[in-house]
């Protein structure tokens, strides 16, 4: 008898786990985004997943692959944190610095190709997809002159992520 009750309860729990979950919908009827929580130690995985995705997109158009540059990564990290401090996504630092000045401050002596920024709760790949959907930001990613890339983010305790990508030649 006890065995039957145990089996029935187990089957009930298994079926409950199979029940599809309905996403919370916004006023527009679309699913609300879920917070993408970046855990300590995920930095390399996230960075290289984005780099691999960018290079796959570039290879599809016969463009050269990008490689990470530590100085561009530093410039991107500085700006991602600074956007959080300012609480606004824009290309100027709280000290009035431009993307060009930030990469120069980081020691980069090459040519700045472009800077992409985003304020979101989405993953790095969803952010890349959004950048690729717009002609002006897609042009930065797909610029044939680009050879190097810096990529960084800052995540607030609320889950909001400030992404920055910098490309150089």
**What's CA 36's distance to the chain center, in Å?**
10
The residues, any chain, with a CB within 8 Å of residue 36's CB and separated by 6 or more, are 121, 122, 123, 126, 159, 161
pLDDT given at position 15? 43
pLDDT given at position 42? 86
pLDDT given at position 3? 53
Which pair of tokens denotes residue 54?
């960018």
pLDDT given at position 53? 97
pLDDT given at position 13? 45
Angle, alpha carbons 89-91-95 (nearest 5°) = 100
pLDDT given at position 92? 86
Distance in angstroms (rounded) separating the CA atoms of residues 152 and 150: 7
pLDDT given at position 22? 62
pLDDT below 50 — which residues of the chain?
A: 1, 5-20
């Amino acid at each position: 008898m006890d065995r039957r009750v145990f089996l029935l309860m187990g089957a009930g729990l298994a079926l409950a786990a199979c029940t599809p979950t309905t996403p919370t919908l916004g006023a527009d009827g679309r699913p609300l985004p879920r917070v993408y929580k970046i855990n300590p130690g995920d930095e390399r995985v996230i960075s290289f997943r984005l780099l691999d995705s960018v290079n796959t997109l570039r290879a599809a158009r016969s463009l050269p692959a990008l490689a990470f540059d530590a100085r561009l990564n530093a410039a991107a990290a500085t700006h991602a944190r600074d956007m959080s401090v300012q609480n606004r996504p824009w290309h100027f630092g709280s000290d009035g610095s431009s993307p060009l000045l930030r990469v120069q401050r980081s020691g980069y002596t090459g040519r700045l190709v472009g800077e992409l920024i985003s304020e979101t709760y989405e993953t790095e790949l969803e952010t890349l997809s959004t950048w690729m959907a717009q002609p002006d930001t897609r042009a930065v990613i797909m610029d044939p002159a680009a050879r190097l890339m810096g990529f960084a983010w800052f995540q607030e305790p609320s889950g909001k992520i400030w992404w920055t990508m910098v490309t150089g030649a």
